[in-house]
A and B are shown apart, each in its own frame.
Chain A
Amino acid sequence: DGGITQSPKYLFRKEGQNVTLSCEQNLNHDAMYWYRQDPGQGLRLIYYSQIVNDFQKGDIAEGYSVSREKKESFPLTVTSAQKNPTAFYLCASTHVSGSEAFFGQGTRLTVV
């Protein structure tokens, strides 16, 4: 079955550590996205990528980094510079021409 896989589902990080969240899709979608969900804040765009080896900052990119070395993969690194990293992170993908986004099941990151 085609879809988007995020791993892990739950992740704990110590303060000052970097951590990488995985996102893989087999939908043959060109574009991939990372969103963050906080209570009462909706979904806020962190980074997005339309093609391999290219990506753009979203609305809240500070403290995050991404790479797009393969069409299928768009990992997100939460760096120690991110002041409030505890959140629910969602990865999504679309056809580049514009359509509905398909989402993964999310990763709950908790800083301890």
Chain B
Amino acid sequence: DQQVKQNSPSLSVQEGRISILNCDYTNSMFDYFLWYKKYPAEGPTFLISISSIKDKNEDGRFTVFLNKSAKHLSLHIVPSQPGDSAVYFCAASVRGGSNYKLTFGKGTLLTVNP
């Protein structure tokens, strides 16, 4: 059973516009959420995270929004740049405890067109 879902396999936007990537989760125990960016044949790199005690976290062009009641989070990239073209993974975890691990979605391929 997939606990973290990214329902859009791909997204295409124009340079300078906003990119919105969505993620849903089913496990109400998740309390920490992360976004990763991945280029082909490379390891994912951490972008931004948000704790469940917040509903928004911003870092430069990247903003993550969390709606706990809907079990939904989104990543906004403004303005989008061609270098942002990559696969974006949403991940979730339960912090603390002795079995910490990240659960990933299947990813969304973002293409930013010049």
Contact = CB atoms under 8 A, between A and B. Distances in A.
A56 B99 contact: yes
Nearest to B34: A100
A15 B59 CA distance: 47
Interface residues of A, number: 30
Nearest to A104: B43
Contacts, number: 65
Nearest to A44: B104
B65 to A, nearest CB: 18
> Dominant SS at the A interface?
strand
B43 to A, nearest CB: 3
Interface in B17-43: 32, 34, 36, 41-43
A40 B106 contact: yes
A76 to B, nearest CB: 15
A102 B100 contact: no
A109 interface: no
Contact of A98 (B32, B41, B104): B32
Contacts of A2: none
Interface residues of B, number: 28
Contact of A42 (B41, B45, B49, B106): B106
Interface stretch (B66-74, B75-83, B89-97): B89-97
A105 to B, nearest CB: 5
A31 interface: yes
Contact of B9 (A35, A40, A104, A106): A40
B96 A102 contact: no
A50 B42 contact: no
A105 B42 CA distance: 5
